Amino acid sequence: MTELWPYASPGAPAFGEWLLGRSVSPEFVAEAVRDRMGPYSRSLVPLIVHSVLGGLLMLLGPVQLLSAVRRRIRLHRIAGIVFAVTVYVSMAGAALYLVRTPPEEAFSGAAFWIVLATILVGTVGSVTLGVLAAVRGLPDLHQRWMLLCYGFLMTAPLLRLEWGFLPWLYPGLSIQDINRVAIMHLGSLVSFGALLASRALDRRTTVPGPTGTWCPGPVLVAAHLAGVAGLTWISVAFLDQGTGGRRLLLAYLVPHAVIHVVIAVRAARARVRGADWAREEWRLHLAALCLAPAFSAAAVPVLELTMGLDRLTALIAGVGIGGGMLAYAAVTVVSLRVLYGRELLKRRRAFAEPPTGPATAAPKAVPVAATMREGDR
């Protein structure tokens, strides 16, 4: 929240830069400030709005979560309205910065611009769907979308933490290279955190309506095969880029493999204990995770053609947005799964035939209006 103060008033205190300079090096901080000075100066007011309100969102998120867990309904609703409005205003400031700044002139380059734009769309989309779910009385879906929204928002503070950690792991790298390493996995990590939180809060073994699975064995096998093909293409493409490419590939593969193992183990454990709904959600997210590399591989030539990017920049951008976008798609499929199951349940109840037989009394006439009200319920 204080990071942009020196850009508005040169020489003003900068607590974040002060801490970063002592954890890494003053030269690294000076480079970061120099690289951001030009892009930020053209959109300083929108960025101040975005950053200050973004800091407020970091504080409102835990309030929302704790008020929901402790069933403080009034506080949860009031804080939720403030949270949603703050997201829209904060993201409007970020959108103005992105619109005013050509991708190649953005801080840390075009790949970083593309990832920021994707996070912006994902954040606004998830908070909107979360609000709609709350209005429709779907607390389970509301919870999932709002946790995903908060996960996308957490990319900002997590990136700052990586600024303090990655230079120790890779000494001598520029701020642009550090950002490239970070965006290899940040989208996947925050969406994975949202999934873990959703499953921790949802203890149900079944949900009303859904039966069977939308992710049977053949579908999951096909998703794994597509994922292997995508990972192979991505690996070869990064290895062709020399030392920097190998570094980026490692930053992508290790978190991807860890997330894959955790989700697969959770799905297997859910099957053993008979938790059908938990198993279904884990499997849907596992399929999406497997498809993320295939999506990224397909996105690279599209980004090259539509935005005129070189191969490395398009590769970094494609991989950077793959995990988050497929996690968003997985939450969408989970939501459709729940809505479809509830619609089937409602139809079964509406069209259930009364029992017949010689000892069964004739059913009483039911007014049409009463039938419509029951169907609405």
pLDDT at 60: 93
pLDDT at 371: 34
pLDDT at 151: 97
pLDDT at 372: 35
Average of per-residue pLDDT across 56-83: 92
Confidence of residue 1 (pLDDT cuts 50, 70, 90): low
pLDDT at residue 370 tops 70: no
Residue 257 CA to residue 246 CA, distance in Å, equals 16
Residue 353 CA to residue 359 CA, distance in Å, equals 16
Percent of the chain with pLDDT over 90: 68
In angstroms, the Cα distances linking 18 to 26, 51, 94, 172, 179 are 9, 18, 24, 19, 19
pLDDT at 63: 92
pLDDT at residue 26 tops 80: no
pLDDT at residue 147 tops 60: yes
pLDDT at residue 64 tops 80: yes
pTM score, two decimals?
A: 0.89
Residue 349 CA to residue 72 CA, distance in Å, equals 33
Please say whether the beta carbons of 313 and 111 come within 8 A: yes
Average of per-residue pLDDT across 250-266: 98
pLDDT at 130: 97
The half-sphere exposure of 259 on its side-chain side, counting CA atoms within 13 A, is 28
| 210-235 confidence digits (pLDDT tens) | 788 999 999 999 999 999 999 999 99
Beta carbons within 10 angstroms of residue 172's beta carbon: 8
67: left (phi over 0), alpha (psi -120 to 50) or beta: alpha
Which of 42-56, 185-199, 252-266, 292-306 has the weakest average pLDDT?
A: 42-56
The mean pLDDT of the chain is: 89
| 108-121 confidence digits (pLDDT tens) | 899 999 999 999 99
Q: Does 15 or 73 have the greater pLDDT score? A: 73
Average of per-residue pLDDT across 165-188: 92
Average of per-residue pLDDT across 58-77: 90
pLDDT at residue 362 tops 50: no
| 82-95 confidence digits (pLDDT tens) | 999 999 999 999 99
| 160-170 confidence digits (pLDDT tens) | 899 888 998 99
Looking at this protein, which amino acid is placed at residue 344?
A: L
Domain definitions of the chain by residue range: 172-349
DSSP state of 71: T
